[in-house]
Chain A
């Protein structure tokens, strides 16, 4: 009899705990404003976000394996309104980067570099979902073993952030570029380089503290001393350092702008929405003009209202 009385109370307790956990999960996800742009949803139609095998491959390869993802949509992995699926969409965009000759770098390089683990670019790391590191911060890397992805790259609908009047950066091209940027910090670390950004404003860098880099100029398809080119597979991971100077080298903001350039100028006209490429052009130009201490010596695309991105 006593036992019978305890069973319902346990059930009630378990149900209450389940409800509480669900509420907590919802509260945490709600801390990022959920939802997806029409452009994001349009790109989603071009690949297989609900393919469990592909989801698993992204989940493991890009190290979305921390429990911080549990309340951020990992159990609803093809719901593009939630952060987890938005990361998968960004990985898919990297997986759809161009492969033609004459670009900055090949899809295979960006794809391999952006992986969290099992990549020749850096040690194994993992990605964490985090709500807020401070105003305007999109992501942040610990040079040791992880990278945090913050709400500004997930928030919808890009409303101005109350504290700084700065719109969020939920754009697909920016989110994908942030993955590439952050993993480059781990590459720097693997190379024994200083992986910190410089504080701004400084020189031509107008960004705030901890958001300035050097720009190491090279053209798309630039020839390297070993006879290869930057747009050869493996070209991203090469360096040409002479007397301590990086004649061919990359900083995190640089590698992200080169990716954004490649998407804007040579992205697919078949499966990428026009708007993804327009956003890539816009955000790439912002980074070129705000995040480099020395001036970046080019602009991405023509300033037409509706650029003709269709490549022959």
Chain B
């Protein structure tokens, strides 16, 4: 009897170790085809939409082509105006398209873009979460995902203003660090200001003077990019949390006993089978 019990316990232990009762599904292999390199679109007043379409669909390897096309017309005020005309919260096209219009204006580094970028940054047509008074929780649903798109686009706008790198543009950026209602925008303004000033000690000191008192500690956060030295990044990340222990997360919270809800196996399927073409379609 004891022998059987021992064997049974061993089976249970082996099961626990090997994850019996939980079969991992085979992951579907997705085969990818390289994106074709496209013929660069010359940027002009009449080709702005076509240019944006190209940037929206091209592989990352064509970034230098994009920069070359923009460099060729960056001094042309009509082209700057034509690109700036694409900035809109009412008719954005998409979040990604707005990012591209903003990037184009930043890349042009033409002072003429400052006005439209500044209007966009401070627009009341797209309120950031701090300005929205009534973000209501989903009923009985605290496990939600939410995204502040207005803050994302305005953060990009302030980055591109900073890239203009003129005295007037810098004043706008410093003002944003001081008093823009969005924390996302303020953090983006700090990062872009430092980046465009070469992360110099003087720039860091200036940004710290402009930042809200409780945001001074976020001046000079490490950037993670393809050429970042990983060890240096890890050291700076660790240093940030050791210098600011108040920013460390607290102890973990376990769910109260008895509140864990388990699903009862795989739920029954109620959908129809997927088909890649609609019934009767070509």
Contacts and interface: CB of A to CB of B under 8 A. Distances in A.
Interface string A87-119: 000001001100000100000100110010111
B270 interface: yes
A158 B149 CA distance: 10
A164 B147 CA distance: 12
Interface string B240-266: 110010111111111100001111111
A28 interface: no
Contacts of B5: none
Interface in A189-236: 189, 192-197, 199, 201, 204, 206-211, 214-217, 219-222
A157 B92 contact: yes
A266 B184 contact: no
Contacts of A256: 145
A286 B55 contact: no
A206 B155 contact: no
A217 B241 contact: yes
B30 to A, nearest CB: 4
B230 to A, nearest CB: 6
A39 B224 contact: no
B107 interface: yes
Given A139-B145, A158-B95, A61 B28 contact: yes
B263 A67 contact: no
A70 B279 CA distance: 13
Interface residues of A, number: 155
B147 to A, nearest CB: 4
Nearest to A213: B249
Interface stretch (B8-16, B40-48, B121-129): B121-129
Contacts of B281: 76
Interface in B33-75: 33-35, 53, 55-63, 66-67
Contact of B150 (A48, A167, A308): A167
Interface in B157-192: 159-160, 162-163, 182-184, 187-188, 191-192
Interface string B270-281: 111111111101
A138 B252 contact: no
B149 A142 contact: no
Given A157-B93, A197-B144, A299-B191, A269 B125 contact: no
Contact of A58 (B28, B184, B248, B278): B28
A266 B106 CA distance: 24
Interface of B: 19, 22-25, 27-35, 53, 55-63, 66-67, 89-97, 99-100, 102-104, 106-107, 125-130, 132, 134-139, 141-153, 155-156, 159-160, 162-163, 182-184, 187-188, 191-192, 195-196, 217-218, 221-226, 230, 233-234, 236-238, 240-241, 244, 246-255, 260-267, 269-279, 281
Contacts, number: 464
B24 A166 contact: no
B264 A145 contact: yes
A197 to B, nearest CB: 5
A244 B35 contact: no
A77 B269 CA distance: 17
Contacts of A23: none
B226 A144 contact: no
A245 B104 contact: no
A280 to B, nearest CB: 10
B252 A193 contact: yes
B97 A209 contact: no
A299 B224 contact: yes
Contact of A210 (B92, B142, B148, B217): B142
A192 B260 contact: yes
B71 to A, nearest CB: 11
A287 to B, nearest CB: 7
B271 A67 contact: yes
A49 B53 CA distance: 22
Contacts of B99: 275, 278-279, 282
Contact of B107 (A146, A199, A305): A305
Q: Which of A244, A268, A295, A311 has the most CB of B within 10 A?
A: A295
A169 B275 contact: no
Given A67-B271, A307-B225, A160 B89 contact: yes
A302 B144 CA distance: 29
Interface string A176-200: 0010011001000100111111010
B230 A37 contact: no
B126 A165 contact: yes
B31 A168 contact: no
A92 to B, nearest CB: 5
Pairs A-B, 4 closest by C-beta atoms: A208-B135, A118-B25, A145-B263, A209-B137
